[in-house]
Structure 1
């Protein structure tokens, strides 16, 4: 296994800080949705995918999604310290779930569809967790029919945005000196 360079670590830190700012704002939006429109709470979960997707798509290195996600969680927690466990835990979980299909291929394939497969899978895992955590019996079937697809579609939409950001950064030469794995 290759050593992780300082450039990769600093790139993950920069991406994580940017993603943490988005996550911090998203946390307050999520709280508002939870209070006033809980069916639409799932829309905000995709914001936690942004730093991990950008890092993995831009740097194409093992562990970058997890590292950027955790850093984003720490930065997001600055804006709401009482949610530190939620921010860091979500960053860690999302980063690990996003890297899973790439781990299976031993980080040799970087096909765009793999990002979307990981986003759908991650959204389903999070939706099931919320479904169980909130108690399915407390909501009607139509409420779950609206809420659960949002938990899957939001990560897919933010994956698209994250890949777009990574492509633009790569085109601008941001990660040029970091290099790619063979």
Structure 2
């Protein structure tokens, strides 16, 4: 008798748009229920990841961070500074380069490229000095050049500075900055 009521409830729930699994769960014995809670990595609201993904200017960077598994890193609690390439900056890469970098087989190369844009800790524009070298999150040095109001990270022009996030600061750049370790990869040259 109970099974007929469950069937009627499932059919009624299906027709009204409810998921029948919910109706069945109530009738299952506790020892037969399977709890399947998969906890996704938490991305802090207002984190660098959130700030980047909330902007239409950084759609390519958002996709690249996800492909490299760095969205959760920049969405966590540790503080970082990122020289964030705009979509236009990624568009300046040689044809096919970005597609090649986004391939799963090249995940580590993509990570290295993106981590070259990241500095551990908060580095504000007022902290940047001419001929300064900073160690990036990929372990290579990034040179900062300042000429009057013009700031460059390697050869990439810094367009906007000091966009704040809960876990760091973002400066946008007009070119993808290529580390020496990736010279020659898929047409990338320093």
> Greater relative contact order (Cα 8 A, min sep 6): structure 1 or 2?
1
- Which is higher, the Rg of structure 1 or of structure 2? 2
Larger proportion of helix: 1
Q: Same fold (TM over 0.5)?
A: no
